[in-house]
Structures are given as structure tokens and as C-alpha cells.
Amino acid sequence: MNYPKINSLNISILGAGWLGKPLAKALQTQHKVKTSLRDREILQGTDFYSCDVLIISLPPRENYLQNIKNILEQTSQKTQIILLSSTSVYSQKRQGKMQLLGEDALINAYKNYLILRLGGLMGYDRIAGKYTQGKEVASDSYTNYIHRDDVIQIINALVGCKVQEKIFNLVCPEHTSKKEVYDKNAKLFNLGKTRFLSLEMKGKKISSKKVRDFLKYEFIYKSPLDFHQ
């Protein structure tokens, strides 16, 4: 991948958890990075929001929308805000509705934003089928997963780009069935099998073509069957 070189930036990451911590480590090779370890921390009265790029990686909990609004009040319009949202906004589930409200708050109050809707985050200790082993699920469905390494590479490529008012889906290009992935992982990690009561495929395939075309990005892991090779 050949992206244009950019000068060192001051980057703040709000929510340095399973994704945020390794993301910070990757960005630190070129930029100055500050992180907040606590996802509910709003950090009022600090210089945390005085940065070139603010990456918001907060889970959609009860105070999610208010946190987003508080963050926007403290952030300059010159700062590039990258909001890590989720493809769950396409569903009618509560988590997706909360994240969509957070997206709307950003869009209505800010111009220099980039929204990344992440698919199911996998890789390393996150193994599809691990928490359903030995259990029954109603039906099979298409996967909309993405490996953490690809998320980090894409964010690294987007940081500092003069791009705003964009929304990208981040999911692998290939959509296998959950049963395929779960069965493979069951063998690979000696897990109990997940029993699918129906093999009828449910759900939608979410496309990441927009971000792939924009960055000319080649995924490291094109299929969730490749995550744990």
C-alpha cells in the first residue's frame, strides 16, 4: 500500500480498549498520540481535545449520546473527528439506534468528520463461535466481520487525509456464512460446535467497496475464514 506521506500530527484517542490501544501503538510510529483509558471519561478542563485528529472509540452505553455532545462542545471545528461507529446502525437493535443518534449529533454539529461503521471486530482472542459453542442459534446468516489489523491499517491511511463529511463501512470484502466460520474455528481451536436450527441465510451483506475504492485498499484478510490461519 502506498499512501502519501503526511507530517506528524497530534492525535487523541478517546477509548483505548481492545481496538484503541493497538491503534495508538500503530499511529505512534509517525504521530504524537494521547489516549484516554476510560471510555466514560470526558476529560473536561484538559488539553486532550486540543489536537489535529480526535478518534472516538466509545461503546454505545446509556450515556453515549450525551458523551458525544460533550465531546463536540470541547473540540475545535478545525480538528478532524473520526467516529468509530458500527454496522449495527443498519439494524433495529438498541445498540444500533444509540450509535445512529451519536452519528446524527456529529453530522448536525460538525463538518470535519469521518464516520467509520465497523463490522464485527475479530482477530487475536476474538474468535467467532467461541461464545456460542455447544449452544443453539436460530438460523445461519451472512458474516459482516473485519479483522482488527485491517481496521488499524485503514484508519492509519485515513488519518490526516483532507476528507470530511464521509461515511465508510469497514467489513471484509467476502461474506461467508456464520456456520462456515464457526465450524472452521471449532476445529481449529477445539471448541464445541454451534448448532444452527435453520440453514436459511438471514441478514444483509454490507459492502466496503466505498472505502476500498477511495483508498485503493487491499484487505489483509479478505475473508473471515482467513482470520486465524
Q: What is the mean pLDDT of each run of 10 residues along the chain (229 residues)?
A: 66 94 96 79 76 94 91 94 97 92 97 97 97 96 98 94 93 97 97 96 95 97 93
pLDDT at 92: 82
The three grid cell numbers given for residue 220, joined into one nine-digit string: 489483509
pLDDT at 3: 46
Three-class SS state of 136: strand
pLDDT at 38: 61
Task: Name the nearest CA neighbour of 119 among 192, 181, 38, 36.
Answer: 181
The number of residues making up the chain comes to 229
pLDDT at 161: 86
CATH fold, domain 10-123+145-172+207-221, is Rossmann fold (3.40.50)
pLDDT at 1: 44
Q: What is the pLDDT of residues 59-96, one digit of tens each?
A: 998 889 999 999 999 999 999 999 999 999 999 889 99
E strands in the chain:
10-14, 32-36, 53-56, 80-86, 113-118, 120-122, 136-137, 145-147, 166-170, 195-196
pLDDT at 201: 94
Query: Beta strands 32-36 and 80-86: pairing type?
Result: unpaired
